[in-house]
């Protein structure tokens, strides 16, 4: 009984110390001005002083041609106090300045309010940029912590044998890379250890710890592998996927959502735009180039193919992109294709320097006023030298070749008979500015078109889609060339879904090989290997994805 008071003594003592430890915090939080409010008040007073000083000086400069005497920053607080009581009496606010050097109060307050509005707009812009940057940084941090590129969550069944998992892996794999085909349904599962009867087969990459466990504990049954699925290793890693359209959609949606910076999305599936536009709108502007009106939106981008063709190099690249869907692949037709590209390059340059609309290029291609672009290239002061003679020689040297080349150009522009496509080619100043700045603002451009397997007879809007995608790629390359390290940071992710049937970019093989070096990581999704070889006349090479892993082979 005598020990209870001694045993109960420490708790009151700990409570007493705890009360003493928390009391200073309570006293500090209960009184005084918050630091944020104090800093905001100081900033407001400083901004008001700066605006009043500059407004007074600029008003005098605009009225009398010189800065008023004794209008200094140090005298501005006293002037503000006088203006608070008498807003119309500028001489009383600046007693040391001759009244003849001051302006009227109307001009002063107009400049003051104008400067205040500019300051508010700049403040809102800076706050929005900082908030967007913090959001992107927080998103990257969460992806690193939680492994956003890992396999989707699947219920685990520990009692199912490993053989059953292995036998179901091919059915769970929706996408196949051309260098890493999944085993067929009847293929036996690959062994985990070497045996003299069965040769070892390559396994998907796993962590070193798991490999060591498999080697050192042969008696312990290994854990069943997770369900196989095509997972993106990183938006910065080039990827080439062959799969049917329904199986490509989850990969495309995941790639668009996880793009760190600006993104160019080429697709024939409008649901890709519908499922990702809201998430991408949080990071930057969202633009949609949809000449065929496949997407349910009234806000469609207008872009003339003659844009930036004042430069001869740009007009050459643009002509190659416009003719890519209808360009013949046979070597015997190479001269005709080159003549058609030369004609189109000169027509685009002539229309651009003279301010002609794109439909004028289609008229020249049809044969009307054939010598008008020659005259423009010879007489216009902005025309590049040498193109007039090049165009004239192409028109007069080989008449039969010229006729076939003009038919090739007419076929490329056959879709201009549609009202929607003609409207999509109409120049729009706001759309041009948005297209030029979307990459710097972290935006997304969706290029949506109808898939066409044989565009050489009926190309539709494919030449226009290819030209715009090529223009964005070249714009990204120029931005990378102007940067200090020669690459875009953050990179511009190119998600090219069904690119062979929507917008066959001539630069695709180069982008898959070296696009990551300049900050243009490319993810190309095709129906089959034969489709890519038929379109680009070569095997496309890129890091391919092992089924069931998130790492390229």
Q: Write the Ramachandran bin of 367: left for phi over 0, alpha for psi from -120 to 50, otherwise beta.
A: left
Is residue 440 scored above 70 in pLDDT? yes
HSE-CB of 286 using CA atoms within 13 angstroms: 16
- Examine the pLDDT at 280 and tell me if it is beyond 70: yes
What is the distance between the alpha carbons of residues 200 and 289, in angstroms, rounded to a whole number? 50
Contact between 239 and 233 (Cβ < 8 Å): yes
**Is a pLDDT exceeding 80 seen at residue 521?**
yes
- Predicted TM-score (pTM) of the model is 0.59
Q: Can you read off the two tokens belonging to residue 170?
A: 């091919």
Q: Is the Cβ–Cβ distance between 387 and 349 less than 8 Å?
A: yes
Q: What is the pLDDT at residue 207? A: 43
* pLDDT on residue 155: 41
Beta strand spans in 149-206 (E): none
State the average pLDDT over residues 237-266. 89
- Specify the 3-state DSSP secondary structure of 59: helix
Q: Distances from the Cα of 339 to the Cαs of 102, 212, 397, 506, in angstroms?
A: 70, 62, 10, 18
Q: Does 192 have pLDDT greater than 60?
A: no
Structure confidence at residue 322 as a pLDDT band (50, 70, 90): very high
Token duo for residue 7? 């045993």
Arithmetic mean of pLDDT over the chain? 79
Q: Say how far apart CA 379 and CA 410 lie, in whole Å.
A: 26
- The answer on pLDDT for 159 being more than 70 is no
**68-77, 110-119, 183-192, 244-253: which range is least confident on average?**
183-192
As given in the structure block, the two tokens for residue 318 are 């643009």
* Gap between the Cα atoms of 95 and 99, Å rounded: 8
What distance in Å separates the CA atoms of residue 484 and residue 467, rounded to the nearest whole number?
Answer: 28
Q: Specify which residues 241 forms β-bridges with.
A: 525
239-303+428-536 maps to CATH 3.30.700.30: no
Over residues 202-219, the pLDDT tens digits come to 444 444 434 444 444 444
Question: Is pLDDT of 223 > 90?
Answer: no
Please write the tens of the pLDDT for every residue from 385-415. 899 999 999 988 888 888 999 999 999 999 9
Assign 135 to helix, strand or coil.
helix
Give the lowest-confidence range in 146-155, 264-273, 391-400: 146-155
Max CA-CA distance within the chain? Answer: 122
User: Dihedrals φ, ψ of 281, to 5°?
Assistant: -65, -20
Banded model confidence at residue 465, pLDDT cuts 50, 70, 90: very high
Tokens encoding 472: 């964005």
Amino acid 290: pLDDT: 94
- Which DSSP string corresponds to 96-134? TS-GGGS--HHHHHHHHHHHHHHHHHHHHHHHHHHHHHH
List the one residue out of 446, 507, 443 whose CA is nearest residue 474. 507
Percent of the chain surpassing pLDDT 70: 75
Q: Taken in order 6, 8, 12, 13, is the CA torsion positive or negative?
A: positive
**Residue where the block lists tokens 């038919």:** 407
Q: Is the peptide bond prior to 76 cis by the omega test (within 30 degrees of 0)?
A: no
Output the pLDDT for position 146.
57
412-428 pLDDT, tens per residue? 999 998 898 999 998 88
Alpha helices in 147-173 (DSSP H): 162-172
Cα 436 to its chain centre, rounded Å, is: 12
Comparison of pLDDT for 220 and 128, the residue scoring more? 128
* Cα(437)–Cα(29) distance, integer angstroms: 46
d(CA 300, CA 289): 6
Report CA torsion sign: 304, 308, 311, 316.
negative
Q: What average pLDDT score do residues 324-344 get? A: 91
Q: Mean pLDDT, to the nearest integer, of 62-78?
A: 88
Q: Which residues of 372-386 are buried (b: 16+ CB within 10 A; e: fewer)?
A: bbbebbeeeeebbee
Q: End-to-end alpha-carbon separation of the chain, Å? A: 77
Q: What angle separates helix 358-366 from helix 334-353, to the nearest 10 degrees?
A: 140
Segments making up each domain of the chain, as ranges: 38-121, 239-303+428-536, 312-417
Per-residue DSSP letter, 176: B
Residue 495's φ and ψ, nearest 5 degrees, are -105, 105
């Amino acid at each position: 009984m005598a020990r209870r008071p001694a045993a109960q003594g420490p708790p009151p003592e700990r409570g007493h110390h705890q009360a003493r430890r928390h009391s200073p915090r309570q006293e500090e939080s209960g009184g005084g001005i918050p630091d944020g409010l104090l800093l905001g008040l100081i900033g407001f007073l400083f901004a008001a002083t700066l605006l009043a000083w500059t407004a007074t000086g600029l008003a005098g400069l605009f009225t009398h041609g010189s800065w008023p005497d004794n209008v200094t920053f140090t005298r501005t607080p006293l002037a503000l106090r006088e203006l608070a009581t008498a807003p119309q009496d500028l001489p009383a606010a600046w007693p040391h300045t001759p009244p003849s050097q001051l302006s009227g109060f109307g001009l002063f307050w107009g400049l003051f309010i104008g400067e205040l509005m500019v300051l508010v707009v700049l403040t809102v812009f800076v706050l929005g940029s900082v908030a967007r940057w913090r959001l992107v940084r927080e998103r990257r941090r969460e992806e690193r912590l939680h492994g956003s590129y890992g396999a989707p969550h699947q219920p685990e069944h520990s009692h199912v044998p490993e053989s059953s998992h292995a036998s179901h892996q091919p059915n769970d794999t929706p996408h196949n890379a051309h260098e890493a085909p999944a085993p067929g349904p009847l293929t036996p599962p690959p062994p985990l250890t070497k045996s003299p009867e069965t040769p070892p087969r390559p396994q998907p990459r796993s962590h070193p710890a798991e490999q060591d466990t498999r080697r050192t504990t042969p008696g312990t049954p290994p854990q069943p592998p997770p369900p196989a699925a095509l997972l993106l290793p990183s938006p910065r890693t080039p990827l080439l996927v062959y799969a049917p359209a329904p199986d490509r959609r989850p990969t495309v949606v995941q790639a668009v959502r996880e793009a760190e910076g600006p993104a160019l999305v080429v697709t024939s599936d409008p649901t890709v735009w519908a499922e990702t536009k809201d998430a991408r709108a949080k990071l930057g502007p969202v633009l949609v180039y949809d000449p065929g009106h496949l997407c349910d939106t009234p806000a469609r981008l207008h872009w003339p193919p003659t844009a930036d063709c004042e430069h001869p190099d740009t007009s050459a690249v643009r002509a190659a992109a416009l003719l890519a869907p209808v360009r013949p692949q046979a070597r015997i037709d190479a001269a005709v294709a080159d003549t058609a590209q030369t004609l189109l390059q000169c027509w685009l340059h002539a229309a651009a320097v003279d301010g002609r609309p794109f439909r004028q290029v289609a008229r020249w291609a049809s044969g009307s006023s054939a010598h008008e672009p020659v005259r423009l290239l010879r007489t216009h002061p902005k025309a590049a030298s040498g193109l007039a003679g090049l165009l004239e020689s192409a028109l007069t040297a080989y008449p039969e070749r010229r006729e076939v080349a003009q038919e090739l150009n007419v076929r490329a522009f056959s879709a201009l008979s549609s009202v929607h496509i003609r409207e999509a080619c109409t120049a729009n100043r706001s759309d041009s500015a948005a297209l030029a700045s979307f990459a710097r603002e972290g935006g997304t451009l969706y290029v949506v078109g109808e898939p066409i397997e044989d565009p050489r007879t009926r190309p539709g809007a494919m030449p226009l889609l290819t030209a715009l995608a090529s223009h964005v790629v070249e714009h990204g390359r120029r931005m990378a060339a102007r940067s200090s390290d020669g690459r875009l940071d953050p990179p511009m992710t190119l998600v090219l879904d069904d690119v062979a049937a929507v917008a066959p970019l001539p630069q695709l093989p180069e982008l898959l090989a070296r696009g990551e070096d300049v900050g243009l990581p490319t993810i190309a999704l095709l129906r089959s290997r034969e489709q890519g070889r038929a379109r680009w006349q070569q095997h496309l090479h890129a890091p391919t994805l092992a089924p069931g892993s998130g790492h390229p082979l």
